[in-house]
A and B are shown apart, each in its own frame.
Chain A
């Protein structure tokens, strides 16, 4: 139990097959109380909180849109008020659209930036302010993607916002170090999460099998829980000296074909 007594917040965690839920579960398994947030699948959100409570953890299910600063601020304030403090923030909510470069539409372009960039800005600002007020440091972990390192032609805007996290996380790590707040990010590769359900490239069993075979390590998809284990590393005392870092969690997918 490496996170006993800690309070964590995970965004984008309602869906039972989401990376956010994998993170929430991994944190709770290490003893953390976990607030889970989402803006979609709201009928599922409270169920997830119940599952965490069944483990003996405190949990809140808070519906909020990360693109709205006032909603984010209220969520952080409620977390601190009801659970006493906020130690770990996992800014995980993200969206993806499948539009190659020549087909990018202004609408989707802006929507992806709003969630994948401005959502992180809102969460990180509110969370950092709360952590600074508490005076005990804190941990911020952003979910980016294997696409932070290699971009795919079908999802250029998503890939762009994820690659941008290298600089975003680096800037925040530099600036928040004096408050003992670490800022790191994880890069999930092929995870059979809810995000991929509507991928036009993964609609047949053959396509899914091909995708699995492209993963050098074990020819399988990663699990949301495996993503969560890396978050535990950053969030626990093991990660005390780690900031501005990126862990690619893709079974070697980014290394290319064998």
Chain B
């Protein structure tokens, strides 16, 4: 059983998955320290207290995020990069400085998408912005290591399939079922725990095997 008692948790960004992560971490004994927004703008930390665990959501997807490259607007690229990349980088930097100032060997966990791991048709904005983020996390991990701070990424898979494909779940998810928010919360808890002390700069897909299937690529096709 993972024990996070005494750990103070801070969240950046808010959505259903983030709520599930908080619930899971609180049940493991963590205490909720606060949160700030990422969208529409990057908020302020507004806490002087120690932060042991920070979870940042890089899960921007505009209305109809799945569209062919030639149909995308520059405004969508601007917004996608602003939210998935620029604000996440600045939030992680802000939190890292907060941890360094207080000499906290903290844990920074970023929630992203497997769209940043391989190219998917019609997901160029999300995939490109997330890939940029993944790269910078590895650099950050090197620089933060000397402060005892780890930074890792949980790359979420496809949450669920279209109704007509439900009969073929094993083709898409070798592990036999669709992604549950709990799956993300579980890895976050592990990464936040003492057991994960030696892990940093890692990009870990939690997708039931989705991103390593051929069918996984096919779901994104129009």
Contacts and interface: CB of A to CB of B under 8 A. Distances in A.
A128 B70 contact: yes
Contact of B132 (A163, A173, A175): A163
Given A117-B81, A159-B139, A244-B119, A175 B128 contact: no
Query: What band does the interface of chain A fall in when counting residues whose beta carbon is under 8 Å from B?
Result: 35 or more
A122 interface: yes
Nearest to A170: B119
B93 interface: yes
Given A160-B85, A175-B121, A129 B136 contact: no
B124 A172 contact: yes
Interface stretch (A21-29, A100-108, A189-197, A219-227): A100-108
Q: Main SS of the interface on chain B?
A: helix
Given A101-B93, A159-B135, A167 B118 contact: yes
Most buried by B among A122, A147, A166, A174: A174
B96 interface: yes
Given A69-B74, A171-B128, A104 B139 contact: no
Contacts of B139: 101, 151-153, 156, 159-160
Contacts of B97: 102
Interface of A: 69, 100-102, 104, 106, 109-110, 113, 117-118, 121-122, 124-125, 128-129, 147, 151-153, 156-157, 159-176, 244
26 contacts: A69-B74, A101-B140, A101-B144, A102-B100, A102-B143, A106-B86, A109-B90, A110-B82, A117-B81, A121-B77, A125-B72, A147-B135, A153-B139, A157-B89, A163-B131, A163-B135, A164-B131, A166-B131, A167-B128, A169-B119, A171-B120, A174-B121, A175-B69, A175-B70, A175-B121, A244-B119
Q: List 3 A-B pairs, minimum CB-CB distance, nearest first.
A: A170-B119, A163-B135, A164-B132
